[in-house]
């Protein structure tokens, strides 16, 4: 089995026609048939069901097609990165992040990269915790940043900092610092929170916090975008609980109450695929410098 055989398999998996595939890759049809049969023999599986008028992938063939695509994409990326190292270039880092990580953390990291590794290209994608986990497993991103993220065993996580939660309220809300004494006072309020299906830990941590005070938040609107949450609170359609950093640089007609006396915190985590530590070493070095300088809070 070699890369050329895998590439030809993928062509056939796309075309599902031996003659047309052979024409596309400029080899004889019998040669292509022998390649695929040898591949199946090497794997010990049947990849294609062959009928008189059509060819179709088996269940094993579908799985092998999807994984083979990923393997070839990874191999291409490795080749590019190897050449970049040879030329003394910084390469590329693909980062998925929550909106809250853009308040302090990522700008500080990107500034450090620009200063010390100006040739490193960064690709940024604002996303949810669940998207980051799936993208890491599929290798479409290199690193993710998100709050209170729960990850599977294939992914490593590091907490970079923790901060207090704040209650976000419309400016004319009846609750304020002087009459606030417990989260239980919010039991009847409409909440604006991210979708539970996209949070992988974050919403669960807020729900657990509220449950400690005897209620489950009544969610009226769902959004994982910090600015959207702030706008909805300002409009008076509900209240929310966000990391304190969500208020950074904001000038909106909202009120907030910082939850200083509770143990639960918003924990910003960096996540990456296990086993890629050496490959991401230079990026981790930039993150360590930012964390050690205390520029993220």
Query: What residues are paired with 222 via a beta bridge?
Result: 193
Average pLDDT over residues 169-188: 94
- Global pTM reads 0.72
Angle between helix axes 105-116 and 281-293 (nearest 10 degrees) is 120
In angstroms, rounded to a whole number, what is the distance separating the alpha carbons of residues 85 and 52? 50
Least confident segment among 84-93, 196-205, 252-261, 280-289:
84-93
In angstroms, rounded to a whole number, what is the distance separating the alpha carbons of residues 78 and 187? 52
In angstroms, rounded to a whole number, what is the distance separating the alpha carbons of residues 11 and 29? 13
Cβ contacts of 220 within 8 Å, gap of 6 or more: 190, 191, 192, 237, 238
Q: What percent of the chain has pLDDT over 90?
A: 63
Q: What is the pLDDT of residues 92-131, one digit of tens each?
A: 899 999 888 888 889 999 999 999 888 888 999 999 999 9
Q: What is the pLDDT of residues 22-81, one digit of tens each?
A: 998 899 999 999 999 999 999 999 999 988 778 899 999 999 999 999 888 888 877 877
Q: What is the pLDDT of residue 86?
A: 55
Q: Is 216 left (phi over 0), alpha (psi -120 to 50) or beta?
A: beta
Confidence of residue 88 (pLDDT cuts 50, 70, 90): low
Confidence of residue 183 (pLDDT cuts 50, 70, 90): very high
Per-residue pLDDT at 277 exceeds 80: yes
Per-residue pLDDT at 169 exceeds 60: yes
In angstroms, rounded to a whole number, what is the distance separating the alpha carbons of residues 204 and 148? 9
Confidence of residue 199 (pLDDT cuts 50, 70, 90): confident
In angstroms, rounded to a whole number, what is the distance separating the alpha carbons of residues 216 and 242? 16
Per-residue pLDDT at 297 exceeds 60: no
Confidence of residue 266 (pLDDT cuts 50, 70, 90): very high
Average pLDDT over residues 150-162: 94
Q: What is the pLDDT of residue 119?
A: 81
Total residue count of the chain as it appears in this document? 297
Q: What is the pLDDT of residues 200-243, one digit of tens each?
A: 889 999 999 999 999 999 999 999 888 899 999 999 999 999 99
Domains and CATH numbers, the chain: 3-84 (1.10.10.10), 91-155+268-293 (3.40.190.10), 165-264 (3.40.190.10)
């Amino acid at each position: 089995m070699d890369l050329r055989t895998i590439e030809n398999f993928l062509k056939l998996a796309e075309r599902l026609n031996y003659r047309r595939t052979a024409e596309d890759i400029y080899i004889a049809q019998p040669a292509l048939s022998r390649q695929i049969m040898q591949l199946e023999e090497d794997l010990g599986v049947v990849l294609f069901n062959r009928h008189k008028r059509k060819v179709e992938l088996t269940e094993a063939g579908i799985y092998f097609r999807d994984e083979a695509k990923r393997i070839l994409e990874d191999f291409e990326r490795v080749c590019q990165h190897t050449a970049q190292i040879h030329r003394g270039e910084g390469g590329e880092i693909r980062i998925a992040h929550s909106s809250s990580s853009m308040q302090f953390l990522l700008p500080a990291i990107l500034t450090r990269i620009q200063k010390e590794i100006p040739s490193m290209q960064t690709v940024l994608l604002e996303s949810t915790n669940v998207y980051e986990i799936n993208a890491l497993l599929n290798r479409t991103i290199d690193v993710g940043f998100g709050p209170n993220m729960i990850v599977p065993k294939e992914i490593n996580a590091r907490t970079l900092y923790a901060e207090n939660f704040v209650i976000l309220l419309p400016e004319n809300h009846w609750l304020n610092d002087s009459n606030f004494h417990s989260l239980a006072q919010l039991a009847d309020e409409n909440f604006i929170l991210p979708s539970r299906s996209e949070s992988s830990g974050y919403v669960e941590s807020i729900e657990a916090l509220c449950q400690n005070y005897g209620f489950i938040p009544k969610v009226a609107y769902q959004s994982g975008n910090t600015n959207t949450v702030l706008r909805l609170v300002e409009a008076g359609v509900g209240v929310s609980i966000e990391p304190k950093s969500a208020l950074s640089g904001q000038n909106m007609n909202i009120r907030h109450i910082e939850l200083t006396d509770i143990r639960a915190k918003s924990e910003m985590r960096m996540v990456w695929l296990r086993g890629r530590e050496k490959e991401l070493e230079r990026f981790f070095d930039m993150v360590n410098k930012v964390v050690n300088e205390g520029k993220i809070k």
